[in-house]
Structure 1
Amino acid sequence: MRTTIIKKTLRVPTSGGAPGDGAVVARQLDAALIRSGFKASRELLEHVSNLAAAEEFAAEVVRAVKELIGARGQHNPYFKEFPHNVPGTLAFWWECVRDAVEQGVEPTGNLLDLPKYGRVQHSYEEMLAAHDDLIPSLKDRVTVVRLGGTLEEEVQRLFEELATSPIPLAENDRTVLGELAMLAEDVELDVPVRENRAILNAVRLVAQRPLRDVDTVTDVLRLAAEASGGDVTLEEPTRFRSFRRPERRALLQALDQIAESKLGDVGQHREAWKRLGERLHPHEYPFDRAQDVFAVARREKVARSFAGQVEMAFAENDVERAVSILAKAPGLLLRQLDRLLRNGAEDLATHVAAAVPEVSSRVLVSVLEHLENRTTPDTARVFATRARKVWIADDDREPLEPEAVAQIVEVVENELVRRLPEYSELVVDDEVLDVVVPLTGVEEGFGVLPRGSKLSFDGDVLRFFVHWRQQAKRTDYDLSAVLLNERFEYKGQVSWTQLKDGGVVHSGDVTDASNGATEFIDVQRIKSTAKYVVPQVNVYSGEGFDDVAESMFGFMSRDLDQMGKPFEPSTVRARSSMRGKGKVALPVMFEREGDTWSGTWLHLYLRGSSWGNRVEENRDVVKLIAAAALRRKYFTVARLRDLFARKESTVDAPAIRVGLAQDETGTVTTVSELGKLLSD
């Protein structure tokens, strides 16, 4: 848990060990952190200096930050001198064939059958010897690691930060929240996200403590799924476990206390309710309304939901009746605005004004973002689920009337301005202006930003990498890149089938990851003619992103004269875990802008094929996604700053500063905390 806290917060819990002289270890700690692109705060160094068991404490800190940036593994490329002396693709393949013949192996036409192909032919130490030391640069990243409170205090602090998050958490954060809930004190908290409520209630259920904040049937279903080790988002089917009798009673009693008007929600997850009923045995308990829930699931009783009533109104072309029904469910009204506008609903701004006080800020922001992308036609619609799956369809919708959209946007913006906190001064760092205000949690990692966020950085060379380690069977991931011009037209690609193309170089195909494998691609700014570079990671064979022991994507930048080995921790700008159901990952895309680079986060997964995914087969889809991602208007920090400007400052209120990372004062609002500025 100490390591988790360091990785999540860059705060190091204090040690309760005996005092002593750890001054030498403190200097060693700072030197080790600097080599990885980190710096220990003065308070942290003083704390280590006064510890008797300083070595063990410092080693844990270094281990945590190395895990954070992906530096724990040995990143050994196939070509040990990469990016230098990488051969042409065909020349390399013929070399592998000649090697096979010399060893008495009959070539079969399958590269994987050649002894030299896909298997690193040198040791990690031999690779290191082929590279000069990295020359430090002022452009290298330096991230401060600070001293926190005691382990118990940091557990409680992180628990409350995650539990009270105004946006749904990413999968890894939900796991951490569940672990923390078993360690932290169960205090009264305002938990706005229902998935988080279910995670906390699952711990209470097992401990036979009273459940809290359960007011819909879906809350109970989420709770049962979480308590069974399933998917609390209900996007994936859960195999419910056998519940103990006190647990069954608690779940059924929670259902029995839910208003009858909420029974219409059962139909959204009918099959899950039927499976859960087999585990809870509701007929054995005197809870009539709980039994009604399962009767609705079995279609023995009818309960129409709000959504069903709305659909009937639309089917009968009665838009005004649809509006009157939706007015009773403000959140649903906001989510149906596009459809209502397309169907000619009148005086919608008035209905929206009445609804917005009851709608979460997250929904309001998503409505603004959606409407502002609907007044002009688009060539394609790119859909992305919360699970990051993506698909594309033609956009055959008529654009919305700009005047009608403007009226609703004004109403929604006014409500958001009202919710903004009082402030005496607002300072927004330039580097976060193009960061998207998060509506859901992002992938686990370092420097990871919400989808659509743009991050600019310098460097003559852009280098991105994938690292994976298989779990049970041989697994081959392929790092590739699609190269596009300024009109998003295809200019080329770099992958295992084409190791070099116009200033872009691949480090070589590695096809087995028993002990971990890494592939790199280098893009030299002055040599590459591509305007856009879109990396992708293809599952060619073996385990998917959710099945491997670990998988990550990251990127770094450096100047040509810095030298160094292929993976230098201090040059890493970001590192993101890859966890998704698809077979093709699109983590980020890059744009060349004069002397700088900018990266736009995508966090998307294409379904792909079960085997043999290659860049040649999906490059056209990637072009569409890249164009759509850059053309889309996002709700960014710059937009949030404009809303603050409409709210007069207050002399006695605190100053607010928004940045990518905390400063020495610890008062910066970071990207993950932006949602709290729009408290409901």
Structure 2
Amino acid sequence: MNKMLDIYINRKNKVSVEKLVETKDKEKSVIYVATILKNIEEYGYTFSEELIEALKNKSTEDLVKFYLDLKETIKLQVGEGIISQMKPMYPNFPKQVMEADYIELFINAMVHYISCGSILPEYKEEERFPLISSKDKKLTIIDLGTEEDLFNIYNELLSSKAVLSNHDKEDLVWFVDNMTKKQIVNLLPNEIVIKETLSFITPFIINKVGFNTKIANYYKTATDVLRLILVMNGYSSAIDSSEVKWLRPMKTRERKCLVQLLEGCSSIEADMFRNRTLWLKALNRLHPGNFKKCKKVNNAYDKLIKNKKIPTFKSKLEKMFEEGNVTEVVNLLSKRPGEFARALDRTVRLVKADDLKVQLDNRLNVVKAFDKVANLVSTPILLQLMSYFKKRSSENDVRVFFPKGNLAKAYVIDENIEVLEKKVCDTIVFVCQKHLRGLYSAKEMLGNVYIDDRLKDFVVPTSQRNASKSLKNVARGSKFKIAEDVNFIRAFVYWKNHDDIDLSAYFLTEDFKEIGTIAYYDMRNRGLNACHSGDIIDGANGASEYIDIDLESALNKKVKYVLVSVYNFSNKPFSDLEECFFGYMERTGVNDGKVFEPSTVKHRTDLSTKGDFNNSVIIDVENREIIICDLSSESAPYFPNNANTNKIGLINGLKGIINHSKPNMYDLAKLHADARGMNLVEDKLEADTLFLVDKEDMPVVNSSEDEIKEQTCITLYDVDYIISNLL
């Protein structure tokens, strides 16, 4: 696989053709380009005009190589790279399953189970009617890029204000390995905000270009240095003393570098006492006594050994909360605006008075104190605070929690928190919006701005830590509209190796009552007109399962939600599997075309989390929306891992997604437009900057009638740009 092409296609839907050789026979190249276009259309892709023109000037030999690399890449994007293994147990699915006698299905399953998955039923594959394409079918446009633009992804990832995913980190390492030393240093941003990213990439950069002052300047606190030490020892950057059993001996060069980094940090003593156990282990390996000039480090080490306790910020704050001293709490939090933002709800609730008007006024005084320091709070936190307090004055049945470092494992509890006054919540929202506009106004102007209303359906990617690599990278909770002429959703899962992966669909009413389940133990439901393609218990060299969901039949049966989930019946985490991915297709009919038609794939995502069951997508049947879920968890021990034994987890995952209070992309774009734009316009042709769902939504310019103007287009899928420049 061409990794560079894979990164550029996956992240920006662009290719660079600068290194392709120019041709002297343009007429022949035009034929080759037309052939490439015809072939990639099968996978749902096409080229922009700029790319077509650039390719027409390239040699046929290079065009052939370019096409083969491109085809391999886009096949992997849609999940068709292993088409020979995408065949279901019943080749004439779904018609064959719906019409089969129950005894036939039962016997086939028993033979398959008894043979440990080695025997599959044999049927002749019938010829199928060609695929009936959706009239709303849109092809994904691959645009012309440059090598400079490609390598700028490295800068955008490092500049991100959201925590990176594992595949983001893999791509970062590829850039460090494949860029020149000069490129690596020159493209380093002024600041790396996310400390996890900093500690992860530092060893790779040092290994390639050596240690330099630019890297050193990123390290501000003792905790930053501790994260780096943990990463250098093979641990995650999460500060977890229970995880760290042993630290390796370090070379003199490493010890000197780390001690000097620590010496350059401020307020190291209090910082180190917060993680005393870990620092004692680390300093035992660093031997700071060998570096006499580093007096701050040696003094702190001495106090750590003697356990001369230093009151920490957290201990002071908790004591003040326990005492109920609002004034002292506010004064202390004002010294750390980020902590103030995180504790704002709790601080407001600390204010109590018998007279409700007095209570309201005093709570608003807390908000005023926050207002004075809110400009020092990071923009992602302000965004999340704004969205949270928009819903905070209303009652909710549940609260949703996403554990740090394990965002994919949401858990839900009953809501029992005090409802806040609407005026307090509205004031906090206003304060957040005011400071966000102020912070964003320092960026370059956008001119006239157009914002697509559909961006309200998509969540801002404020954290990517557990995001999976996907065909379309969007945040959890984002909603895709189902095309009008689509009647069926076909979900699929693919996996490899000797594991048993199961695909299930759980049908629920609006108040979460069960209507039915489609799974390996209940393969069809004639009332819902839904069915399963057959349970394969051994992936071996690659296997697939499918579920067809009839939207109209589900709606007629009062179904509101369909939860589509994937289970690892082998009870091991998805991260241990060689390969596993989930996706869904939008189909007009179900018996036309192949069972797996790459051009109908609307979403595909790798399953690589540490859970063994995954709530993949939620189908909102009534609103005809697909909600991206991708929430993983661990199944109940001692019970089979399936939809029936995980009903509570399934419903909690559903509640967690539909009750979220995350900022949406429209609100983010509107804040930038207010702060940096001239006017909001309704005509795309009048805009200088467009915030769109996809590049296919760019305005069509009639060069004979319209004045051609240069426009900047920011789409939902420009995730790297969003997390580095818009957050």
* TM-score normalised according to structure 1 size: 0.89
Aligned partners of 2:637, 2:296: CA distance in 1, in Å?
45
Which residue does the alignment assign to 2:193?
192
Match of 1:619 among 647, 664, 667: 647
Which residue does the alignment assign to 2:146?
149
| 1:359 maps to amino acid | V
* Structure 1 residues 309-320: aligned runs within 5 Å: 309-320=316-327
* Structure 1 residues 47-196: aligned runs within 5 Å: 47-49=54-56, 50-51=58-59, 52-74=61-83, 75-86=86-97, 91-92=103-104, 94-96=106-108, 100=111, 112-114=113-115, 120-121=120-121, 130-150=127-147, 153-184=148-179, 185=183, 186-187=185-186, 188-190=188-190, 191-196=192-197
| 1:360 maps to amino acid | S
Aligned partners of 1:555, 1:545: CA distance in 2, in Å?
19
Change (3 A) 1:497 1:272: farther
* Structure 1 residues 214-233: aligned runs within 5 Å: 214-233=219-238
Q: 1:212 and 2:217 equivalent?
A: yes
Change (3 A) 1:230 1:134: farther
Q: 1:602 and 2:629 equivalent?
A: yes
Change (3 A) 1:257 1:464: same
- Displacement of 1:600 in angstroms is 1.5
Q: 1:446 and 2:471 equivalent?
A: yes
- Displacement of 1:424 in angstroms is 3.0
Aligned partners of 2:108, 2:641: CA distance in 1, in Å?
22
Match of 1:491 among 502, 515, 522: 515
Q: How many residues align?
A: 656
Q: Do 1:508 and 1:519's aligned partners in 2 also have CA atoms closer than 8 Å? A: yes
Q: Which runs of 5+ in 2 are unaligned?
A: 352-361, 681-685, 699-709
| 1:281 maps to amino acid | H
Q: Which moved more, 1:452-461 or 1:651-660?
A: 651-660
Change (3 A) 1:94 1:326: same
Q: Which moved more, 1:574-583 or 1:292-301?
A: 292-301
* Structure 1 residues 296-445: aligned runs within 5 Å: 300-344=307-351, 346=363, 347-385=365-403, 386-387=405-406, 388-421=408-441, 422-441=445-464, 442-445=467-470
Q: Do 2:40 and 2:71's aligned partners in 1 also have CA atoms closer than 8 Å? A: yes
SS in structure 1 opposite 2:599? helix
Aligned partners of 1:654, 1:305: CA distance in 2, in Å?
51
Aligned partners of 1:14, 1:298: CA distance in 2, in Å?
60
Which residue does the alignment assign to 1:658?
691
* Structure 1 residues 636-655: aligned runs within 5 Å: 636-640=664-668, 643=671, 649-650=677-678, 655=688
Q: Do 1:469 and 1:514's aligned partners in 2 also have CA atoms closer than 8 Å? A: yes
Q: 1:570 and 2:565 equivalent?
A: no
Match of 1:31 among 30, 38, 42: 38
| Alignment deviations for residues 596-643 of structure 1 (CA, whole Å, 9 cap, x no partner) | x20122231122135731111111332233234223443213333554
Change (3 A) 1:522 1:258: same
Which residue does the alignment assign to 1:108?
none
| Alignment deviations for residues 451-472 of structure 1 (CA, whole Å, 9 cap, x no partner) | 22111122111111111223xx
- Displacement of 1:355 in angstroms is 1.5
SS in structure 2 opposite 1:451? coil
Which residue does the alignment assign to 2:701?
none
SS in structure 2 opposite 1:370? helix
Pairwise CA RMSD: 2.9
Q: Do 1:26 and 1:58's aligned partners in 2 also have CA atoms closer than 8 Å? A: no
SS in structure 1 opposite 2:491? strand
Change (3 A) 1:46 1:218: same
Aligned partners of 2:194, 2:276: CA distance in 1, in Å?
22
- Displacement of 1:25 in angstroms is 3.3
Q: Do 1:556 and 1:574's aligned partners in 2 also have CA atoms closer than 8 Å? A: yes
Aligned partners of 1:288, 1:546: CA distance in 2, in Å?
44
Aligned partners of 2:193, 2:311: CA distance in 1, in Å?
26
Which residue does the alignment assign to 1:523?
549
SS in structure 2 opposite 1:445? coil
- Displacement of 1:285 in angstroms is 2.9
Aligned partners of 1:342, 1:629: CA distance in 2, in Å?
26
Change (3 A) 1:547 1:589: same
Change (3 A) 1:277 1:38: same
Aligned partners of 1:57, 1:541: CA distance in 2, in Å?
40
Aligned partners of 1:651, 1:660: CA distance in 2, in Å?
20
Q: Which moved more, 1:64-73 or 1:663-672?
A: 663-672
- Displacement of 1:241 in angstroms is 5.0
Which residue does the alignment assign to 2:535?
509
| Alignment deviations for residues 209-257 of structure 1 (CA, whole Å, 9 cap, x no partner) | 2233100112112223334444235579467555432122111110111
Fraction of identical pairs, as percent: 23
- Displacement of 1:449 in angstroms is 1.5
Aligned partners of 2:8, 2:722: CA distance in 1, in Å?
20
| 2:481 maps to amino acid | S
- Displacement of 1:545 in angstroms is 0.9
* TM-score normalised according to structure 2 size: 0.83
Which residue does the alignment assign to 1:534?
563
Which residue does the alignment assign to 2:288?
282
Aligned partners of 1:267, 1:389: CA distance in 2, in Å?
30
- Displacement of 1:649 in angstroms is 4.4
Q: Do 2:440 and 2:676's aligned partners in 1 also have CA atoms closer than 8 Å? A: no
| 1:661 maps to amino acid | D
Change (3 A) 1:28 1:121: farther
- Displacement of 1:290 in angstroms is 3.0
- Displacement of 1:358 in angstroms is 0.5
- Displacement of 1:381 in angstroms is 2.2
Which residue does the alignment assign to 2:9?
6
Q: 1:551 and 2:555 equivalent?
A: no
SS in structure 2 opposite 1:173? helix
Q: Do 1:469 and 1:551's aligned partners in 2 also have CA atoms closer than 8 Å? A: yes
| 1:53 maps to amino acid | D
Match of 1:250 among 257, 271, 286: 257
